[in-house]
Amino acid sequence: MDVAQVLIDGKWREADAEGTFHAENPAKGEAFALAFPTSRWSDCDLALTSATKAAAELRTINPAKIATFLDAYANNIEAAAVTIVAAAAEETALPITPRLKDVELPRTTNQLRQAATAVREESWRHATLDLEKNIRSCFAPIGPVVIFGPNNFPFAFNGVSGGDFAAAIAAGNPVIAKAHPLHPNTTRLLAEQALKALETSGLPLATVQMIYNVSNENGLKLVSDPRIGAVGFTGSRTAGLHLKRAAEDAGKPIYLEMSSINPVIFLPGALAERSEQLAQELVDSVLAGSGQFCTSPNLILIFETPQTEAFLAQIAKSFNDRAAQPLLSTAGRKQLHQGVTALIDAGAQLITGGDHAPGDGYRYANTLLRATAKQFLAAPHDLQREIFGNATLAVTISNQFELASILRLLEGNLTGTFYSAKSGADDVTYNDIAPLLREKVGRLLNDKMPTGVAVSPAMNHGGPYPSTSHPGSTSVGIPTSIARFAKLDCYDAVRPERLPDILKDAIANPNTWRSINGAWVKG
């Protein structure tokens, strides 16, 4: 049997495997021929030892080499794009165009290049100089970072190429990536390009290592190993909370993005003005990526207005008209169905969908459920369950008081959205209610669906627990995301010639912003 090799210490090598698995083509429901190994602890151990050595080397290296690597990796991914995109399409059933080729792959290389720019500029290090007291500080690498990527973005959140990866590398840390077992071949192809870029840029070859799978026990051991600096995780709440406890008990910072239902609120004036257009926007957002987005609207809050029933009917009709796309896995479809069933059990009414859909692969009918605010308030826990897939729950609201009560009972979310009248007719309600939603979300939107997550320095792809593990940090947005993987190094009365270049009185880099005696100064 052909078994893929793992990337450890700069070499593709046979894994010390305790088993193998096969990924599937979810559009066909067929397993691929290539087997992938589940690594024993010895693979993790070797990766950890190699990462420790690489971390020490990286601390002494000219950061420009890290930037060179990130740019070279982006170039390599583009040069191999046809192969990588084809593999991802096979493993995820996501469309090659526009999704994989025209959106996610360019987003991924853009992230790597933005990270390269941040490394060259060095402003992310937040150099702070108190010249009078001769105390200086800046961010520095935290140590090897273990990254778990999710199932739903094979490039942009992949442990070996995504946002956490770019941030951890930009901070000067080696990465040990765990591939998601639903797209191991895509991850393998990316890691090949990473290794080539390491070779040409002169970074330690163990700066990027990749294994495909480990037992749950070894996963917990990995995130709590003394040799690591921090952990990045994007995935399910169940897996995330297990890793969180293990890492935190060992004193290791762990950044998790776990779950979010992304409430979208339609105020009465917005429905009166443009309900047809809004229904269309909502359908596009809920069905994007078959609803398998962290920012997919799972909870729609709609005031009962003369337009509301037509609005819901239009959504239901669009859901029926559009063909259900394959989900990422049979397990995902099963969980989606369990979620829909649980919502119904908790009082929601099924409008359309609610079962497997015809066609090849793991399809589930586009699903709309509804409930009243009273029902939601009677079962707030069960009715804010995340349903990861092409399904959403609309809750109709008879007055502002009900809406306020619902918002107060929401868990933390990545995003929250208001649609309101352009005329200003909803402004009084907005001003009353927005502060309640503001408290529960990382990103507040107006008149725009939350599904898109721009790579901007001002982005917050984060939010209050349990959507993430810390409401003050973001996994998307450069340079902000980089500081998560840094320690704060202070120099008190350290002799000038011994200071890192970035903290010397005169700085060579003309592009670095530093805070000197309380004022931000460039170069």
137-176 residues near a copy of itself, rule: CB under 8 A: 137, 139-140, 142-143
The dihedral through the CA atoms of 445, 451, 452, 456 has a sign that is: positive
Distance CA 183, CA 152 (A): 9
Residue 273 engages a copy of itself in binding (rule: CB under 8 A): no
Nearer to a copy of itself, 2 or 497 (CB): 497
The reply on whether position 457 binds a copy of itself by CB under 8 A is yes
Q: Which is nearer to a copy of itself, 52 or 318 (CB)?
A: 52
Site string for a copy of itself, 424-443 (x = CB under 8 A): ------xx--xx--xx--xx
* Residue 40 burial (10 A CB sphere; 0-12, 13-18, 19+): middle
Residues 521/510, Cβ–Cβ less than 8 Å: no
Instruction: Give whichever of 252 and 337 is closer to a copy of itself, judged by the CB atom.
Output: 252
Q: Per-residue x/- mask for a copy of itself, residues 18 to 57, rule CB under 8 A? A: --------------------------------------x-
For position 518 contacting a copy of itself by CB under 8 A, the verdict is yes
Return the number of the residue (1 or 519) whose C-beta is nearest a copy of itself.
519
* Contacts to a copy of itself from residues 192-231, by CB under 8 A: none
Find the shortest distance in angstroms from Cβ 209 to a copy of itself: 20
Alpha-helical (H) ranges within 347-426 are 373-378, 400-409
Of 78, 444, 501, 509, the one binding a copy of itself by CB under 8 A? 444
First to last CA, the chain: 57
Q: State phi, psi for 485 to the nearest 5 degrees.
A: -105, 35
- 294 is known as an active-site residue: yes
Q: Residue 20: enclosing H or E segment and its boundaries?
A: strand 17-21
Q: Does residue 257 carry a catalytic annotation? A: yes
Helices (H), 346-384: 373-378
**Interactions with a copy of itself, residue window 389-418 (CB under 8 A):** 412, 415
Cα(127)–Cα(129) distance, rounded to whole angstroms?
Answer: 7
Q: Does 130 bind a copy of itself (CB under 8 A)?
A: yes
- State yes or no: residue 491 binds a copy of itself (CB under 8 A): yes
Among 238, 321, 498, 508, binds a copy of itself (CB under 8 A): 498
Per CB under 8 A, which of residues 61..100 are in contact with a copy of itself?
A: none
Whole-number Å distance between alpha carbons of 107 and 161: 11
Of the listed pieces 14-22, 145-153, 331-339, 458-466, which binds a copy of itself according to CB under 8 A? Answer: 458-466
Does 133 interact with a copy of itself (rule: CB under 8 A)? yes
Shortest Cβ 233–a copy of itself spacing (Å):
14
Place of tokens 């991802």: 88
Q: Give the residue, chosen from 216, 330, 423, 456, that forms a contact with a copy of itself under the rule CB under 8 A.
A: 456
Taking the C-alpha atoms of residue 271 and residue 265, their distance in angstroms, rounded to an integer, is 11
Please give the full DSSP string across 37-78, using - where no structure is assigned: EEE-HHHHHHHHHHHHHHHHHHHHS-HHHHHHHHHHHHHHHH
Q: Which residues are catalytic?
A: 257, 294
